[in-house]
Protein backbone atom coordinates (compact mmCIF):
# COMPACT_ATOMS: atom_id res chain seq x y z
CA UNK A 1 0.00 0.00 0.00
CA UNK A 2 1.49 3.29 -1.08
CA UNK A 3 -1.03 5.69 0.47
CA UNK A 4 -3.62 5.68 3.20
CA UNK A 5 -7.37 5.74 2.91
CA UNK A 6 -8.95 8.47 5.00
CA UNK A 7 -11.74 7.46 7.36
CA UNK A 8 -15.02 8.75 5.99
CA UNK A 9 -13.91 8.70 2.35
CA UNK A 10 -16.78 7.59 0.07
CA UNK A 11 -17.44 6.20 -3.40
CA UNK A 12 -20.73 5.36 -5.09
CA UNK A 13 -22.11 3.19 -7.87
CA UNK A 14 -25.40 4.08 -9.56
CA UNK A 15 -27.54 1.59 -11.43
CA UNK A 16 -31.00 0.88 -12.85
CA UNK A 17 -32.99 -2.24 -12.07
CA UNK A 18 -33.50 -4.26 -15.25
CA UNK A 19 -35.38 -7.53 -15.70
CA UNK A 20 -32.05 -9.39 -15.78
CA UNK A 21 -31.07 -7.82 -12.41
CA UNK A 22 -34.39 -8.70 -10.79
CA UNK A 23 -35.08 -11.52 -8.36
CA UNK A 24 -37.37 -13.12 -10.96
CA UNK A 25 -34.31 -13.74 -13.15
CA UNK A 26 -33.14 -16.32 -10.58
CA UNK A 27 -36.09 -18.66 -11.14
CA UNK A 28 -34.55 -21.90 -12.39
CA UNK A 29 -37.68 -23.98 -12.89
CA UNK A 30 -41.34 -23.30 -13.70
CA UNK A 31 -42.46 -23.77 -10.08
CA UNK A 32 -40.21 -21.00 -8.74
CA UNK A 33 -41.60 -17.49 -8.57
CA UNK A 34 -39.64 -14.44 -7.45
CA UNK A 35 -40.66 -10.78 -7.64
CA UNK A 36 -39.72 -8.33 -10.38
CA UNK A 37 -37.61 -6.21 -8.01
CA UNK A 38 -33.88 -5.70 -7.50
CA UNK A 39 -32.29 -9.01 -6.52
CA UNK A 40 -30.21 -8.98 -3.34
CA UNK A 41 -27.09 -10.43 -5.06
CA UNK A 42 -27.05 -7.46 -7.48
CA UNK A 43 -27.54 -4.98 -4.64
CA UNK A 44 -24.58 -6.51 -2.80
CA UNK A 45 -22.50 -6.58 -6.00
CA UNK A 46 -22.95 -2.83 -6.44
CA UNK A 47 -22.07 -2.24 -2.78
CA UNK A 48 -18.90 -4.31 -3.34
CA UNK A 49 -18.11 -2.28 -6.48
CA UNK A 50 -18.37 0.95 -4.48
CA UNK A 51 -15.92 -0.43 -1.90
CA UNK A 52 -13.57 -1.60 -4.65
CA UNK A 53 -13.58 1.89 -6.20
CA UNK A 54 -12.15 3.28 -2.98
CA UNK A 55 -9.31 0.75 -3.09
CA UNK A 56 -8.44 1.14 -6.80
CA UNK A 57 -5.91 3.98 -6.30
CA UNK A 58 -4.00 1.85 -3.78
CA UNK A 59 -3.52 -1.25 -5.92
CA UNK A 60 -0.04 -2.06 -7.18
CA UNK A 61 0.63 -3.81 -10.47
CA UNK A 62 -0.76 -7.35 -10.31
CA UNK A 63 -3.05 -6.68 -7.34
CA UNK A 64 -6.79 -6.50 -7.02
CA UNK A 65 -9.27 -6.26 -4.18
CA UNK A 66 -11.58 -9.10 -3.22
CA UNK A 67 -14.55 -9.41 -0.91
CA UNK A 68 -13.77 -11.05 2.42
CA UNK A 69 -16.81 -10.42 4.64
CA UNK A 70 -20.36 -9.25 3.95
CA UNK A 71 -23.01 -8.31 6.51
CA UNK A 72 -25.78 -6.60 4.56
CA UNK A 73 -29.54 -6.26 5.01
CA UNK A 74 -31.76 -5.74 1.95
CA UNK A 75 -34.64 -3.85 3.57
CA UNK A 76 -36.82 -2.45 0.76
CA UNK A 77 -37.62 -3.37 -2.85
CA UNK A 78 -36.87 -1.33 -5.97
CA UNK A 79 -38.90 -2.26 -9.04
CA UNK A 80 -37.71 -2.77 -12.61
CA UNK A 81 -36.89 0.63 -14.07
CA UNK A 82 -36.02 2.12 -10.68
CA UNK A 83 -32.69 3.85 -10.14
CA UNK A 84 -30.57 3.33 -7.04
CA UNK A 85 -27.17 4.30 -5.65
CA UNK A 86 -24.86 2.16 -3.50
CA UNK A 87 -22.37 4.12 -1.41
CA UNK A 88 -19.38 2.81 0.54
CA UNK A 89 -17.74 4.78 3.34
CA UNK A 90 -14.28 3.67 4.50
CA UNK A 91 -14.28 3.00 8.23
CA UNK A 92 -11.04 1.29 9.23
CA UNK A 93 -8.12 -0.86 8.17
CA UNK A 94 -7.43 -3.92 10.30
CA UNK A 95 -4.81 -5.71 8.19
CA UNK A 96 -5.35 -7.51 5.99
CA UNK A 97 -8.93 -6.17 5.81
CA UNK A 98 -10.36 -2.80 4.83
CA UNK A 99 -13.79 -2.19 6.41
CA UNK A 100 -16.60 -0.18 4.82
CA UNK A 101 -20.07 0.88 5.92
CA UNK A 102 -22.40 0.57 2.94
CA UNK A 103 -25.82 1.99 2.20
CA UNK A 104 -28.04 1.84 -0.89
CA UNK A 105 -30.88 4.22 -1.63
CA UNK A 106 -33.51 4.63 -4.31
CA UNK A 107 -35.87 7.59 -4.86
CA UNK A 108 -38.01 6.48 -1.90
CA UNK A 109 -35.25 5.95 0.67
CA UNK A 110 -32.81 3.40 2.07
CA UNK A 111 -33.08 -0.04 0.45
CA UNK A 112 -30.03 -1.73 1.98
CA UNK A 113 -27.24 -1.20 4.48
CA UNK A 114 -24.49 -3.01 6.28
CA UNK A 115 -20.76 -3.57 6.45
CA UNK A 116 -18.31 -5.08 3.97
CA UNK A 117 -14.63 -5.99 4.28
CA UNK A 118 -12.25 -6.32 1.35
CA UNK A 119 -8.63 -7.39 1.08
CA UNK A 120 -5.93 -6.50 -1.41
CA UNK A 121 -4.37 -9.62 -2.88
CA UNK A 122 -2.11 -10.80 -5.67
CA UNK A 123 -4.20 -11.56 -8.75
CA UNK A 124 -1.87 -14.42 -9.67
CA UNK A 125 -2.22 -15.99 -6.21
CA UNK A 126 -6.02 -15.77 -6.18
CA UNK A 127 -6.24 -17.23 -9.70
CA UNK A 128 -3.85 -20.05 -8.80
CA UNK A 129 -5.94 -20.97 -5.76
CA UNK A 130 -9.13 -20.76 -7.82
CA UNK A 131 -7.66 -23.10 -10.44
CA UNK A 132 -7.11 -25.77 -7.77
CA UNK A 133 -10.88 -26.19 -7.50
CA UNK A 134 -11.30 -26.82 -11.25
CA UNK A 135 -11.39 -30.50 -12.27
CA UNK A 136 -8.64 -31.51 -14.64
CA UNK A 137 -9.51 -33.42 -17.81
CA dist., res. 4 & res. 59, Å (int): 11
Active-site residue among 74, 78, 87, 105? 74
Residue 56 annotated in active site: no
Active-site residue among 10, 36, 40, 93? 40
Residue 20 annotated in active site: no
Active-site residue among 10, 18, 32, 48? 48
Residue 74 annotated in active site: yes
CB 86 within 8 A of CB 13: yes
Catalytic residue numbers read 40, 48, 74
Amino acid sequence: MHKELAAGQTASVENVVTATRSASAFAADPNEKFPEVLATPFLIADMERACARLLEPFLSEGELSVGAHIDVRHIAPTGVGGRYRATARFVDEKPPLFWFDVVAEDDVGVIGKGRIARAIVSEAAIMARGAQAVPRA
